[in-house]
């Protein structure tokens, strides 16, 4: 079952990201985002198998310079290693994109493996005028256009300060 994060889920979410990535960076990003304006509670989603949380994805707010327009950013996403390969990550990404679409977002951006995210409709962002954050390589920065008729933000994406520079 995919559902929004609830109070009390924080420790389990931290544990999922720590197990998935083997380091504190990703769980710390999630923990640091919660108290900020970038955090969107309805788009912090968990995969719950009925006994425990086995996956988590977060969609947060960033902005685009120089306009200051808001852009939604997908990640981190993590699934417990012993549950990977069961479609949990796919379900989380699809639910996150659906939630962003319902919220009226024109697109969602992420930094990730193009081979993995192309199946969800993510494409290289630069040809669309959406540039990766300063210091990030171009190709892993991708965008999924959720509303083809909407105007996409243009410029360089800036993540929340919760993300490492």
Residue 164 covered by a domain = no
Per the structure, the count of domains in the chain is: 1
Return the pLDDT at 137: 80
pLDDT at residue 87, as a whole number: 97
Which pLDDT belongs to residue 165?
65
Instruction: Please give the pLDDT value at position 148.
Output: 83
Do 50 and 85 touch, CB atoms closer than 8 A? Answer: no
Is residue 165 in some structural domain? no
Q: What is the CATH number of the domain that holds 103?
A: 3.40.630.30
Is residue 9 in some structural domain?
yes
Residues with Cβ within 8 Å of residue 161, at least 6 apart in sequence: 36
**Assigned domain for 92 exists:** yes
**Domain residue limits at 39:** 2-158
pTM of the predicted model, to two decimals? Answer: 0.94
Residue 163 lies inside a defined structural domain of this protein: no
Q: Spell out the per-residue pLDDT of the chain, length 165, in tens.
A: 999 999 999 999 999 999 999 999 999 999 999 999 999 999 999 999 999 999 999 999 999 999 999 999 999 999 999 999 999 999 999 999 999 999 999 999 999 999 999 999 999 999 999 999 988 888 899 999 998 888 899 999 998 888 876
Q: For residue 6, how many C-alpha atoms fall within 13 Å in the half-sphere facing its CB? A: 7
Q: Where are the beta strands (DSSP E) in 80-128?
A: 107-111, 122-124
Look at residue 73 and tell me if it is in a domain: yes
């Amino acid at each position: 079952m995919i559902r929004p994060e609830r109070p009390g889920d924080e420790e389990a979410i931290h544990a999922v990201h720590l197990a998935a990535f083997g380091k504190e960076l990703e769980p710390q990003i999630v923990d640091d985002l919660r108290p900020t304006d970038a955090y969107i509670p309805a788009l912090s989603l968990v995969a719950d198998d009925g006994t425990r949380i086995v996956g988590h994805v977060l969609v947060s707010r960033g902005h685009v310079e120089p306009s200051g327009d808001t852009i939604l950013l997908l990640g981190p996403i993590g699934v417990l290693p012993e549950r990977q390969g069961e479609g949990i990550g796919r379900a989380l990404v699809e639910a996150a994109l659906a939630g962003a679409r319902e919220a009226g977002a024109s697109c969602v951006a992420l930094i990730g493996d193009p081979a993995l995210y192309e199946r969800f409709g993510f494409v290289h962002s630069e040809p669309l005028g959406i540039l990766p954050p300063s210091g990030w390589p171009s190709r892993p920065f991708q965008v999924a256009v959720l509303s083809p008729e909407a105007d996409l933000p243009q410029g360089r994406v800036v993540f929340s300060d919760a993300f490492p520079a």
